[in-house]
Structure 1
Amino acid sequence: MTAALAPAALDAADWQARRAAHEQRVDAWLAPHLARRKAGGKHPVEDFLFTYYSHRPAQLRRWHPGAGVVLRDADPAEFGPDYRADAAGVTLDTDRVRARRGESVAWIRALLVATAGRPAHLGCFGMHEWAMVYRQTQEEVRHNAWPLRLTPERTAAVVEERGVRCSHFDAYRFFTPPARPLNLLTPTRESQHALEQPGCLHTNMDLYKWSYKLSPLVPSELVADCFALAREIRALDMRASPYDLADLGYAPVRVETPEGRAEYAAAQRDFAERAAVLRGRLLAALG
């Protein structure tokens, strides 16, 4: 995670160094993805954040200082129409951004506050990924280029034995039709503020989505921090899934066993703690 951000007024050497450091950091994530895309290849873990979320690689790479930061000796044309120049330098016109996107910003802020105010629940054991392949054949599953660790029959039995406790709508909507009645909840977009909780892997992955939707009000370093955490979470998500990704270097977290569930819950707790810090930083950036 990045250190505390620089003072509100940045000399050209300072903001250019920050921009270059951000671009270098992001390029390390983008290069393998762009190479696979050019070659027509796919990776079920590393490509997920680029295919599931709407933020394009070029947008992730583009640097913004965040609200309230003055860039000395800068050209507002370098940063886009939401920036203005005065005698002090170039800064984000937050009134312009909020006038255009105020409703969206308020919705995201309310969701972050509601989520932060709840305790973390750690008893789902990743069954949402199993519910996405429940009662499907190998050919029908979403990532059918990769084998399942268990037979479809045994996979279904694990779901039925463990039950599903998913509170996240955007995970729930990918459940197979026969899996949906097995869930304890029926999440909807309308109930999202009431249901999301800070132990959920997908809720914490979505901090990346909320950070880029809040850009350029939040600094790009924070967006990249959210991306980095989401990338780690995705790895756990798929390691605990029914898929066998050992050939890609992802050792399974066997949540169908007591030992695997304990491993999953420990990692989930760590992610919840790290996500809480990022959630707090997003809220602080909004004021």
Structure 2
Amino acid sequence: MTPTAPPLVLDEDTWRARAAAHAERVDAFLAPHLARRGASVKHPVHDFLFTYYSQRPAQLRRWHPGFGAALGGDATAYAGLKGYAGDPPAVGVEHVAAQRPLLEALRRLLAATAARPAAFGCFGLHEWAMVHRADETRHDWPLRLGREGTDAVVESHRIACTHFDAFRFFTPTAAPLNTLAPSAADRPDFEQPGCLHAGMDLYKHAFRLTPMICSDLVADCFELARDIRELDMRAAPYDLADLGFEPVRIETAEGKAAYVAAQREFSERGAPLRARLLGEVDRLLAVAG
């Protein structure tokens, strides 16, 4: 392991203020989710970040300073958390070194994705391909164009999904229609920065690096994922008007143009976050030795 400088000790007032600001920031989204969960009410758009991804609300709400900073004063609540060591508590070098396989894998994926040109020709058809000629849908909401109309959209378009975690949910009839066959083993060979799911996954990559990176970056990635998810479902085949979501009608020329414009914007928002994550991974790899 590479020798490192002693961690910067944050005084208690400073880190508690930052932790409180972080909790307030994410509570704007967490509070409605937890209220729905308590009432056993499902939301096909906003629940996704907590049902598909493994980060629990309480984990998102807890602030971490990241490797290189220690928590001064009364920080006993952090002393027993995974990754922390010492007094005052800080993320330990040993924990960073143990995460080297994760760090190396993330570096390969993030660097490959950042180096690849963005593609904007998928038009969000992955969600349509997930219900193609299926008896049931993935969400308990009606199809905007009905069963036959939905199938016709899939069959009249070129499907070009580059993201394995979307492609793996294609129905058996839709999977052969995809121009690619991404797998879990070749993500760095296919993922590209125009993909909505690659943008949402920046949140996954960020929370997998917890507590080694500052939670401010995790929250930035979470907010991007939250906004992308809305577009993802507005362009999906479901009729979500009762939830207040205006559809992006990707079966029309106007809808395709609107989708691509939004997709470009999210790609531009995601680029600096991907760069920041890559910078953190390189910093941590230097520590891991």
C-alpha distance in structure 1 between counterparts of 2:165 and 2:178, whole Å = 14
TM-aligned CA deviation for residue 153 of structure 1:
1.2
Q: Does 1:129 align with 2:127?
A: yes
Determine the structure 1 residue equivalent to 2:90: 91
C-alpha distance in structure 2 between counterparts of 1:186 and 1:83, whole Å = 41
TM-aligned CA deviation for residue 188 of structure 1:
0.4
Determine the structure 2 residue equivalent to 1:142: 138
Determine the structure 1 residue equivalent to 2:37: 37
Q: Does 1:236 align with 2:226?
A: no
The structure 1 segments of at least 4 consecutive aligned residues displaced by more than 4 Å after TM superposition are none
After TM superposition, the score normalised by the length of structure 1 is: 0.92
TM-aligned CA deviation for residue 195 of structure 1:
0.5
Contact 1:208 1:227 in 2 (8 A): yes
Determine the structure 2 residue equivalent to 1:182: 177
**RMSD over aligned Cα atoms:** 1.5
TM-aligned CA deviation for residue 75 of structure 1:
2.9
TM-aligned CA deviation for residue 26 of structure 1:
1.7
The AA in structure 1 aligned to 2:247 is: P
TM-aligned CA deviation for residue 8 of structure 1:
4.9
C-alpha distance in structure 2 between counterparts of 1:75 and 1:8, whole Å = 15
Determine the structure 1 residue equivalent to 2:275: 280
**Which protein has greater RCO, CA pairs closer than 8 Å, 6+ apart?**
2
Structure 1 residues without counterparts, runs of 5 or longer: 1-6
TM-aligned CA deviation for residue 164 of structure 1:
0.6
Determine the structure 1 residue equivalent to 2:83: 82
**Alpha carbons of structure 1 residues 90 and 149: separation in structure 2 relative to 1, 3 Å:** same
TM-aligned CA deviation for residue 246 of structure 1:
0.8
Structure 2 residues without counterparts, runs of 5 or longer: 1-6, 284-289
C-alpha distance in structure 2 between counterparts of 1:82 and 1:169, whole Å = 30
Contact 1:67 1:285 in 2 (8 A): no
Determine the structure 1 residue equivalent to 2:114: 116
C-alpha distance in structure 1 between counterparts of 2:9 and 2:119, whole Å = 41
The AA in structure 1 aligned to 2:32 is: P
Report how many residues are paired: 275
Contact 1:76 1:84 in 2 (8 A): no
Contact 1:199 1:272 in 2 (8 A): yes
C-alpha distance in structure 1 between counterparts of 2:82 and 2:52, whole Å = 28
Determine the structure 2 residue equivalent to 1:212: 207
Determine the structure 1 residue equivalent to 2:60: 60
C-alpha distance in structure 2 between counterparts of 1:164 and 1:268, whole Å = 16
TM-aligned CA deviation for residue 74 of structure 1:
4.5
Percent pairwise identity: 59
Contact 1:74 1:90 in 2 (8 A): no
After TM superposition, the score normalised by the length of structure 2 is: 0.91
After superposition, the C-alpha distances for 1:227-283 in whole angstroms (9 at most, x for unaligned) are 111011000000000001011010000000000000000000000011111111111
TM-aligned CA deviation for residue 76 of structure 1:
5.3
Contact 2:78 2:84 in 1 (8 A): no
The AA in structure 2 aligned to 1:239 is: R
